[in-house]
Structure formats: structure tokens, C-alpha cells
Homo-oligomer: A and B are copies of this chain.
Amino acid sequence: MSHETLDPLFNPRSVAILGASGKRNKLGYLQVKALIDGKFTGTVYPINPKTEEIEGLTCYPSLLDIPNPVDLAIFCLSAENVYKGLEDCAKKGVKAAIIFASGYSETGEDGEQKQRLLTDFANKHGIRLIGPNCVGLVNTTNGLFGTFSPAILAVPLNEQRAVGYVSQSGAFGVLTYMAAAQNGLSFNYFVSVGNEMDTEFSDVIEYMIHDPKTKIITGYLEGAKNPQKLRSLAKEALDYNKPIVLMKAGRSSAGSRAAASHTGSMAGSDKIYDSFFQQTGIVRVDDYEDIISFSKLFLSNKLPSGKNTVIITSSGGRGINEADRCEAYGLNIIPLKEKTTTEIKRHIPTFASASNPIDLTAAASVSNPELFIAPLRALIEDPDVDNIVLTEFPLNWTDDHPLLQEFIEISRQSNKFIFITTFPLEGMSIPKGIKSLENNGIPVIPGHLNPIKGLAKLVEYSEQNRKNQRIYQSEELDYLQKPDVQYLFTTNERLSESQASHILESYGIPAANRRVATTKEEAVHFANEIGYPVALKIDSPDILHKTEADAIRLNLSSELDVEQAFTEIYENATSYKKDAHINGVSIQEMLPEGIEIIIGATNDPVFGPVIMFGLGGIFVEVFQDISFRVAPLTRLDAIEMIEEIQGNSILKGARGKAAVNADQIVDVLLQVSTLVMDNSEWIEELDINPIIVNENGLKAADAMIVVRNNIQQTTSVRG
């Protein structure tokens, strides 16, 4: 459904309140009051057959008695009365509804069934729904406080409202809304999606992407229900230059268990969420403060050009701490070039420090506030500097103070990102000139909102934004005809090594040269063809542990050795597992020395096919030095997968070895991605382990494919 169908939820001309009440402790009263106090710009129709009037508004006995059209209905009804209300909506031609009631899918089977009936009915009649089991929807730009939460109305609003917020947790969402408002950041939209029976998390994001009033899209996520849609929306958002900033909860195992039971959705592996956000350009944050500080920084209307950060402080200790914080979040505290320090030194006392962090000393705070000007001027001339962070600022400079005006003027002439982070003390850390500063793109953010982390996240977004085109450069591998390999998946739960190798080769992935021999003579013949030395291994889908079965012989260099090995392997395999189906003995070239890498794929319950990359041995076993990406991969995804593992230095030629050809690894990753997307309904698990890679190239030495259990005989995703 198109995102425009959500418009009646955000911008209704008229709202009916089903279950409106005159009793002050009732939800139906709180909702009426919220719309009045919120100064909703449209018409409000309370519905209650037993009351004439609530807070001065005429009551109607039923929805159908309202003489005018109704865009939105807000249900202050308990679950048993909701279906009836929805039927009225259909009759009245209501376009959208908010349903607060709980007692649906969050309670189990029965509730789920009840919820499905609502959804089906609404879909049939073209009514868009928010909820059930939600706190509601707020649009602060037209006063639509579609919520019973009195807390939301308790906080004052700012003029600037350009941050949309959508939450999978009602209570946490309300807290975030309030904390943001108390810290001077007002959301334009607040949406608690509840059970997401119709409008789900990504639908709201889609609406905000196309909404000109929203400059940043933020939210609280416990489990993505539609990651494919989220992925394509993320692309759109980058095109619109709108950051999507999500607090994804459930990082820990306990948190993720709780999230799964809280939202009823699969939580999925947190590491894969990280990869997903990385590859889609969605900014992942850890807490509500990050949403506030990111938004405040973004609304300055500048984007950081990079990570190089300079701190200006008047307290040595503050400078050191903020430098620590910058580096902890991945920003660079750069040494300043001589020209810049020389220029700064000309203007500050000799006991002050002109290196980064620049320490103006207490003199600047106490007696000589003009010291804040000259270093700024010098820094904006330095092309190495991306960001300038002030840990103090003259508190007494009012909006019209000439030095404040001068400071702002210097900042305006520069594209460097400049902001002030104050030590959070009540009543004594906010500069008097904060309004002028913020209106001119210099945010002032108290330290407890962790604005340094906000800056680091904004730098991350800024980089994603710049490489937008590259991120989504698709890699269709059009040279590949879709190979016909699906017949192999019907044979067994687990493919034999030679079957798996055949599939790899069909997708262009180099594998060790191999033939399967069923007789001693064939084995010798193939060995001669392949060239010595060779390896012999049993080829059977039923024997997984070839070493345990003593059914593998390496480095054979004569016909005699091959004959003998063939016999031994056959005998050992059959005595190891009598009823094993044996395809034969695989004769395989011995690969040259190189580095072992592993490429794999699994079928994630949330994201579907996910590709894995790592080096072999202790890299995986001891250090879990692995990278993931959700398939399909772009070329950039594949490059980043290789770059982000720590063992990448080995591939680049550490320990005195030549660097390997990383482009070839990228190709294999893309080929694997295509392979698993083509066969996503068949492949549960794919493991190419190891691939031997050296400066000359790479070849898969072994591969394994597990077929999915409940195969649905659908057609493949790819044409």
C-alpha cells in the first residue's frame, strides 16, 4: 500500500473518539483532553451515547451520527468492542484508526486470531490502522495528540520540529519523547506501533521519508519484521539525505531473548543487525541520548567532512577527557601542523597550550574570554581539520555581544563542523548566547547527552551519505546464466563434497581440480590427468568426518600410492559406516601453499541468506574474527567484509608473505551471494572451508552444503 494512505493518520481534518468519556480517570477522557490541550487544528468528535458534551465538545451517540466526514477514529475501547467500532468506521468511510487496546497477539493464539480478523476487515475496507496494544500517534505540528499518555503533554515544545520518531516500545518511546523535549529537542511525529497489525515500523519510516517536514528519522527497534523493505527504504533515505537513526535494543543474549518475547518478533543475531545497518547506511545508536545528540548536531545543517577533530578547552582535564572520548568513538585527535600552532601561539598566553587539545587555561574562562576567538580563526584555515569541539564557552556572551557575533561569523564562513559540549551542571553551564549560536549552526549540547558520540555517529552517517552510490552499486553478475543445479538439492539432506564443488564451479568459483573415481584404474587414470601430487578422499554424503573414518590420503605422488590409497579408503569408509552411500573416491589436486580463508552462508530467521567471511584456524576458533553481510551483496559489501576482519593484515602480506589478490576474494563473495540468492529456498547452510589463497589466485579445497528441511517447491527468486 502506498505511504500516502497513512496521511489521514498524521494529518486528519477530523478525529472521532470512540469511547470518549467525561470521567477524569478514564482513557476516553484523557484522549479528549489531550486533543484540546494540544490545540489540535482539526475537528474533534467525542462519541458517547450517554453524554451530551465533554469539555465543551458536543458528543455524538455513534460514529454514524456525525454529520460531517471523519478522517481518523481513535479507539478508547476495550478489546471486545473494537471489531464493532471498526465496522462503524467502514460504514462511515473513516480512513484510519488508532487502537490502544491490548489483549491481541501479545497474549497468544486467541489474541492473534482476534487481531487477524481486525486486520483483514480493515484491509478489505481500506482503513489504515495503528496498534493495537500501543500508546498512539502524535503530530506536534498540528496538535494531533492521539494518545492517552498525559506525560507527553507535560513537556514544553520547541519551535523547531523536524525529527520523526517511531517506537516498538510504547513506554520507552514516551520516555524518549519526554527526555528529548526536556533537552530542547521536539519531535514532529511520535508513533508507537504496538503490535503492528497493519502499519508496521518500516511503513512509518517510509511515510517520514516522503514527508517534507521530517529531516531526520529516528526510532526504537526491537526486531525488524520486514528487513527487505527496510533495506530499500534505507537506500531511499540516503537519496533524500535523511538519516535513519535507530536504537536497536537486545544486544545482549538476555536482552535479545526479552525483546523476542516483548514484540513477538524474532530478534535475530545482534552481530547480523550490526552488519545490516553497516551495509544499508542506517545509523545504529545505543541509547536515547544518542538520538537526541545526533539530531541536535544534524539540525545544525552542516555535515562533518571527516574524522579529524580538534578540541578547544579552558581546562586541561576536560581537554584530556574529551580527547579520550573522541578516540574511543573512532574520531581522530590530530596533531596540528606547525603553521596552525604558530598562528595560535601568537594569540594565547605562553603558559597555554597550542597543541591539540588546545588548552586556553582558566584565563579564558575567568578573565580573558576573547582567547576563544583567535584559535577558531586559525583552525578554520587549516585544511586538515574537520571538526572543532569547544568544551567551554564564555557564559556571559549574550546574543548581541560583539565577540559572540565575531565567533559566529567565523564559523559561518567555514564548512567545518563546530559545536560546544558543556559539563552538565544545573544552572551554570549553558552560555547566555545559546540561541544565536544554535540558530547559526553551532549546537550547544550538555555532556550527559554524549555529543562526542553523536558527532562520531554523524561522521559515520556523513561517510555513508558520500558513498551512497557505491553502497548500492548492484553487482548482478549478468555474465552468469542461472545454472541448473537445483536437481542436486533433492538428493540428500547434505550434499557430497563433489556435488557441492560442482555447484561452486557452476557459479564460477574456482575449486581444486577433482574427479570422482569408482575403480582403482579410474583413480590412477584421473591422477595422471590431474598431475601429481594428488589427494584422495572418500566422496559420500553420509561420511562427514573423513579423517575420523581414515578415508583421506594426502600428497600421493605415484600410481602405486594412488592404487593403494584407493583400496584403503574404500575399505575404511565401508567399515566406518556400512550403509553409507558412496559416490566413489575423489581424486584431487594438491593445492599450493597459501592462506586459508572460509566463506560461508546461513539462513538467518530474520534476514534470510547471510554471507560470512573469515580466515581459518584460530582466527575463527579463538578470536571469532568473522564478518557478516546480508545477501545479496554489493561489491562494496564484499570489500568491507574483507577489510573489517582483524586478520586482514595477513591477507595484505604480513609475516613476510606476499599480499594475496583481494579482488578474487571479492569475486567469490559475490558469486556465493548470487548462488545462495538463486537457491535460497534450498540452501540452509553453505560452507567453503578452506579456500586456499595466495598471490597467484585461489581455489576452494573443500565445500559443504546442507539442504533446508522444509522445502517449499516454489520457483526461484531470480528470473
Contact = CB atoms under 8 A, between A and B. Distances in A.
Interface of A: 102, 106-107, 151, 154, 167-173, 175, 178-179, 182, 220, 222, 249-255, 257-259, 261-262, 287, 289, 314-321, 323-324, 326-328, 333, 350-351, 353, 355-357, 359, 362, 423-426, 428, 448, 618-619, 621-623, 625, 646-647, 649-650, 654-655
A715 B570 CA distance: 73
A362 B148 CA distance: 13
Contacts of A172: 315-318, 321
A171 B250 contact: no
A187 to B, nearest CB: 15
A258 B316 contact: yes
Nearest to A318: B172
B650 A317 contact: no
Contacts of A426: 182
Determine how many copies of this chain the complex contains.
2
Contact of A175 (B151, B171, B423, B646): B423
A151 B106 CA distance: 53
Nearest to A259: B320
A356 B618 CA distance: 34
Given A425-B182, A654-B621, A654-B622, A321 B362 contact: no
Contacts of A252: 323-324, 326-328, 333
Contact of A333 (B254, B323, B328): B254
B324 A249 contact: yes
Nearest to A151: B428
Nearest to A254: B333
Nearest to A250: B320
Contacts of A319: 258, 262
Given A102-B351, A179-B423, A425-B179, A222 B258 contact: no
Contacts of A167: 317
Given A179-B423, A179-B425, A424-B179, A222 B622 contact: no
A316 B171 contact: yes
A145 to B, nearest CB: 18
Contacts of A655: 618, 621
A169 B317 contact: yes
A324 B255 CA distance: 5
B315 A255 contact: no
Contacts of A182: 425-426
Contacts of A259: 320
Contacts of A316: 169, 171-172, 258, 262
A497 B384 CA distance: 48
Contacts of A170: 317, 362
Given A171-B362, A175-B423, A326-B252, A317 B262 contact: yes
Given A107-B351, A249-B320, A351-B106, A356 B171 contact: no
Contacts of A222: 317, 320
10 contacts: A102-B351, A171-B317, A171-B318, A253-B327, A254-B327, A254-B333, A258-B316, A258-B355, A618-B647, A621-B655
Given A154-B428, A172-B316, 4 more contacts: A175-B423, A250-B324, A259-B320, A622-B654
A219 to B, nearest CB: 12
Contacts of A359: 258, 262
Ranked 4 nearest A-B pairs via Cβ: A169-B317, A172-B317, A252-B327, A254-B333
Nearest to A168: B317
Given A261-B353, A323-B258, A424-B179, A249 B317 contact: yes
Nearest to A645: B622
A257 B222 CA distance: 41
B425 A251 contact: no
B424 A220 contact: no
Contacts of A154: 428
A255 B171 contact: no
B320 A255 contact: yes
Contacts of A253: 327, 333
A43 to B, nearest CB: 30
B178 A425 contact: yes
Contacts of A289: 448
A255 B321 contact: yes
Nearest to A171: B315
Contact of A251 (B328, B621, B623, B649): B328
A91 to B, nearest CB: 32
Contacts of A323: 252, 254-255, 258
Contacts of A328: 251-252
Contacts of A220: 317
A716 to B, nearest CB: 37
A256 to B, nearest CB: 8
A518 to B, nearest CB: 32
A315 B262 CA distance: 10
A654 B249 CA distance: 33
Nearest to A327: B252
A192 to B, nearest CB: 10
A102, A167, A175, A625: most-surrounded residue (chain B CB, <10 A): A175
A250, A257, A328, A650: most-surrounded residue (chain B CB, <10 A): A257
A472 to B, nearest CB: 31
A178 B171 CA distance: 32
Contacts of A173: 317
A471 to B, nearest CB: 28
